[in-house]
A and B are shown apart, each in its own frame.
Chain A
């Protein structure tokens, strides 16, 4: 009996190594373990074994059963792996490029806009948006710009025909529509819309009637900030902008406030910076933004009490910042959308 068991195991060892197909495997498994299989036949003979030998025989049967099952499992595993291998075909070449890996990309102007927004979100500013078609009130009157200020000239600002009306851009009175020349218009709308305190940045597209060249574009983008609260000081303005430029240009950036003139701020400054580590900027002072303390007349125009509220405002060109940060020397490249250019900022 033990001999027979040993023989079955030996035979099975040889047989399973020959099994290559699943059908052969199933047939052999039936021949061995099926109702009429050789091992099943032996197992049935346990009744004929003397009672005292039965425990030992039972133990042998179990051992053999385990051995056989293991042999079959190994054989089945081999077959399954072979099946998978034949289904997959030859090994792939992972060095080939994936057509899906071709990256989508955000335009560099969007990236700079987002970086600036993020810098100001950190200190509690929120993004405000407004229309690109605006009116003289929001673009000039409310910003303390005199009626015959050159910026209002047909030479410098794009206007829309006098009789044209816009459904979803409210006028203040019956004033004329134009293309906004700065995003300060958003500040006026925000202040008319909500009471102080206020802390907004308004990124967006602006228009000036400039002949296009390497540094001028008929449309361009700005980001402007407005902070209104009680007791806001020049020192606060400087602290905010220092933080902004350190974040944007690195700790080695040096800035200076140069007194300047804007109708809507008093005092007004232009900010210059230099930073040795930025390409194409070097150690010369480069103008980067305009800023100042909100002129009391602007507060009056929007119904804020200038005796109670004070604030600062600043604005910069997104193209200009992008040109400085990336070393781009022609503003028109931003509007060509050559993929070799766009992918450099992925």
Chain B
């Protein structure tokens, strides 16, 4: 809200500097977003002149050449002028050669269409005194020729643009801000005196302007007042009012409309003036709008209403969307002579809803939506009548109409000094507290409970809608007392001995691990486009992850994976020549399963297989087993202790290159890992040349939180192992771990419980020379060991022979 210093000074005797006022406003809770000096800036060499003569310009139809008197010594200047609104003898502002007008407009002697012009006669806009640029600013008061223009227009103002928080609608007015500053600076507030007597109206012979006011929407309009005024003369409002309105950011319209706006900004009460001649049927009805009823509002837009909205209507049609905006049908215009003035209380929630639904916010709706002083409608209406009569003439005609009662908003809060001290944590004197409350305009009464404890009964004015509980008064006290007086103290916190959330602990471990492996952490957006998700995942995933109200089409869906974001970062770095190699991100992703969405904690990383250049030494390029190893380590950090469960091939998932990726686990039971080569075709479409290897883990946060199981010791053998190697020739498409498990089963059986087969592991894979096409050789190491004794070669050899026979019997060729 824009607050004018000149306006504030109408209510409080404020002599502080604008810097002090700015700071005071800020420190009592009204952040100052801007301070603007308005009015005529100090202008040198701009003086009052008088037009002595005016001749047509010889070379231009629209221009004339004037002789202009510029001082008492009969000095004059020849000035070329484009305006036509003046007469010879008029006094006007003249910028002499050497003057600098607002906007750094330098005036100098120059030729205009071949005629020399020495200076410039000015319009109101050129001096920043108004919008008028049609003609010269004629100085009707005829100040003496040669007078500096600043002496003619001494009016200056300072405008503070303040943020009023939603709990303080009372400060959407100058009187409200004045009250606050008065409390801060210890000043008295002067309220406008009402002059009109609402019962002293004329009746006359003419039929009344209004016969009836009906409220058919009492829920949304508990209180309505209307006053009739006859004989106003529409015209511009006086300069002082225009200046104040402009300072507050409003455009002057005419004296009646300006008067209602003036009271709105002075007291915070929205008012509406109808042209009485446009009210059909002599009555006003406050009723729910018809479903689909249309109205053209003052901003010249057709609005379609619903039955949950409220309108002020005459016998035939809606004239105003209640509390929000009037229609062009009842607008006060230059022909208006009789008016009906409305002052009402509308229910804030209905105004909020309607305003939001229509996408229409006005100065009036903004205040009603936040809550106006219900009790203030009469005072504001009388103040507006005073103002209208003052600036537009006319007289009250007929009795005021009144329907309903304003809701009761005054309340009392009981609070003791001890409560305040306990909440603040420091000592303040009782008198300091009661002084602050009194300064804020509260009705403070000291009371005593039986037992002697003292407290105040604090009467809260009707305009302070935000104060209901004792705690609210603690803030009031501190605000005015000064937050800078909160003493500094040392932190003292008794220990609670709790642990960080396991998700956070894992994030730190995982990112430290990946950093140690030369990965760079990235952060990308959680919301992605439907095309991207459809491309990398599935169109089904895309449709289930859509937001209800996306703002931009490239951020319309929750991400199912971190990879597209990482690939964006990879591509950006490739394009910028940054030689990216390893990137990772940690964050939440969402996956659909069985009609429901899961929020998963995910770590994803990628590395470029090819060198991005700039390396003087070639390293062995990474492959599936690098990324699979990183995935397994991440799972281990997450608390997966399933140990040696192998990856399984991923069949047909769009993100991965077919036959080049593997997966482990299932996120629905806690965790899942995937690793391999990203889909090369999609990478190409993503404008990434080359091979990208990726790995990802998906974790349920609940798995992380529940996985800190204590380990149990398993005994280890104190005796040496005997190791036997065995190579099997198998079909190329057999998975090594399937063969290994079969061999392990055979081996365990062969050992027959006499001793243990500690492990069976692959140590070599061979293809090529010596083997038929389509076959490969898998070499295994079998480790035998006993818990009780050193094994003998003889018993192990015996078992090993049995194993070879048994594995051969199950169809495997033992390679000699």
On A, residues with C-beta under 8 Å from B are: 96-97, 99-100, 102-107, 109-110, 114, 117, 121, 123-124, 126-129, 131-133, 148-150, 153-154, 158-162, 164-169, 179, 197-199, 203, 205, 207, 209-211, 218-219, 227, 229, 231, 233-236, 238-240, 242-243, 256-261, 266-270, 293, 295-296, 310, 334-340, 342-343
Is B615 located at the chain interface by the 8 A CB criterion?
A: yes
CB-based contact B167/A261 at 8 Å: yes
Is B103 located at the chain interface by the 8 A CB criterion?
A: no
Residues of the B chain whose Cβ atoms lie less than 8 Å from the Cβ of A209:
549, 551
Cα of A254 to Cα of B520 in the assembled complex, Å: 35
Cα of A168 to Cα of B698 in the assembled complex, Å: 14
B696 CB to closest chain A CB (Å) equals: 17
Interface mask (B591-630 → A, CB under 8 Å = 1, otherwise 0)? 0010111110000000000000001110100000000000
Cα of A300 to Cα of B508 in the assembled complex, Å: 35
Is B524 located at the chain interface by the 8 A CB criterion?
A: yes
Please, could you name 22 A-B residue pairs with CB atoms under 8 Å apart, sorted by A? Answer: A104-B518, A109-B523, A110-B511, A110-B523, A124-B493, A124-B496, A126-B499, A126-B500, A166-B596, A167-B597, A209-B549, A211-B552, A233-B423, A234-B425, A235-B487, A239-B490, A256-B483, A258-B27, A335-B524, A338-B572, A339-B520, A339-B573
CB-based contact A266/B475 at 8 Å: yes
CB-based contact B599/A218 at 8 Å: no
CB-based contact A166/B598 at 8 Å: yes
CB-based contact A239/B488 at 8 Å: yes
Which residue from A110, A150, A256 sits with its C-beta under 8 Å from B521? Answer: A110
Is B720 located at the chain interface by the 8 A CB criterion?
A: no
CB within 8 Å for A165 and B597 given contacts A96-B616, A256-B27: yes
Cα of A277 to Cα of B493 in the assembled complex, Å: 30
Is B135 located at the chain interface by the 8 A CB criterion?
A: no
Cα of A153 to Cα of B479 in the assembled complex, Å: 30
Is B546 located at the chain interface by the 8 A CB criterion?
A: yes
Which residue from B26, B488, B702 sits with its C-beta under 8 Å from A258? Answer: B26
Determine chain A's interface SS by DSSP, over half rule.
Answer: mixed
Residues of the A chain whose Cβ atoms lie less than 8 Å from the Cβ of B471:
266-267, 293, 295-296
Cα of A293 to Cα of B475 in the assembled complex, Å: 10
Residues of the B chain whose Cβ atoms lie less than 8 Å from the Cβ of A114:
508
CB within 8 Å for A337 and B522 given contacts A158-B549, A261-B29: yes
A198 CB to closest chain B CB (Å) equals: 8
Is B478 located at the chain interface by the 8 A CB criterion?
A: yes
CB-based contact A127/B504 at 8 Å: yes
CB-based contact B616/A97 at 8 Å: yes
CB-based contact B526/A167 at 8 Å: no
Most chain A beta-carbon neighbours within 10 Å: one of B28, B489, B619: B489
Is B484 located at the chain interface by the 8 A CB criterion?
A: yes
CB-based contact B548/A161 at 8 Å: yes
CB within 8 Å for A104 and B582 given contacts A127-B500, A259-B478, A335-B523: yes
Residues of the B chain whose Cβ atoms lie less than 8 Å from the Cβ of A242:
488
Is B716 located at the chain interface by the 8 A CB criterion?
A: no
A293 CB to closest chain B CB (Å) equals: 7
Among residues of B, the one whose C-beta sits closest to the C-beta of A209 is B551
CB within 8 Å for A235 and B511 given contacts A99-B619, A205-B526, A266-B472: no
Cα of A62 to Cα of B167 in the assembled complex, Å: 106
Among residues of A, the one whose C-beta sits closest to the C-beta of B588 is A132
Cα of A58 to Cα of B484 in the assembled complex, Å: 99
CB-based contact A218/B593 at 8 Å: no
CB-based contact B582/A99 at 8 Å: no
CB within 8 Å for A154 and B549 given contacts A104-B516, A105-B520: yes
Which residue from B349, B521, B598, B615 sits with its C-beta under 8 Å from A107? Answer: B521
Is B444 located at the chain interface by the 8 A CB criterion?
A: no
Cα of A179 to Cα of B549 in the assembled complex, Å: 11
Is B491 located at the chain interface by the 8 A CB criterion?
A: yes
Residues of the B chain whose Cβ atoms lie less than 8 Å from the Cβ of A168:
598-599, 700-702
B475 CB to closest chain A CB (Å) equals: 3
Among residues of B, the one whose C-beta sits closest to the C-beta of A271 is B483
Cα of A292 to Cα of B655 in the assembled complex, Å: 47
B88 CB to closest chain A CB (Å) equals: 54
Residues of the A chain whose Cβ atoms lie less than 8 Å from the Cβ of B465:
none
Which residue from A148, A161, A240, A257 sits with its C-beta under 8 Å from B486? Answer: A257
Residues of the B chain whose Cβ atoms lie less than 8 Å from the Cβ of A295:
471
A115 CB to closest chain B CB (Å) equals: 13
Within 8 A of A (CB), among B520-579: 520-527, 544, 546-552, 555, 558, 569, 572-573, 576, 578-579
Q: A210-B551, A219-B525 are in contact. List 13 more A-B contacts (CB 8 A).
A: A106-B515, A127-B500, A158-B548, A161-B548, A167-B593, A167-B596, A218-B555, A219-B526, A233-B426, A234-B486, A257-B484, A260-B165, A261-B168
Is B721 located at the chain interface by the 8 A CB criterion?
A: no
Cα of A236 to Cα of B483 in the assembled complex, Å: 13
CB-based contact B423/A164 at 8 Å: no
Which residue from B425, B511, B583, B700 sits with its C-beta under 8 Å from A236? Answer: B425
B294 CB to closest chain A CB (Å) equals: 25
Which residue from B352, B423, B702 sits with its C-beta under 8 Å from A293? Answer: B423
CB-based contact B515/A105 at 8 Å: yes
CB-based contact B503/A129 at 8 Å: yes
Among residues of A, the one whose C-beta sits closest to the C-beta of B583 is A337
Is B303 located at the chain interface by the 8 A CB criterion?
A: no
B603 CB to closest chain A CB (Å) equals: 13
Residues of the B chain whose Cβ atoms lie less than 8 Å from the Cβ of A103:
515, 518
CB-based contact B483/A159 at 8 Å: no
CB-based contact A339/B580 at 8 Å: yes
Closest 7 CB pairs of A and B: A233-B425, A235-B425, A267-B475, A104-B515, A259-B29, A261-B165, A337-B569
CB-based contact B578/A339 at 8 Å: yes
CB-based contact A169/B425 at 8 Å: no
CB-based contact A235/B167 at 8 Å: no
Residues of the A chain whose Cβ atoms lie less than 8 Å from the Cβ of B816:
none
Most chain A beta-carbon neighbours within 10 Å: one of B546, B551, B581, B593: B551
Is B710 located at the chain interface by the 8 A CB criterion?
A: no
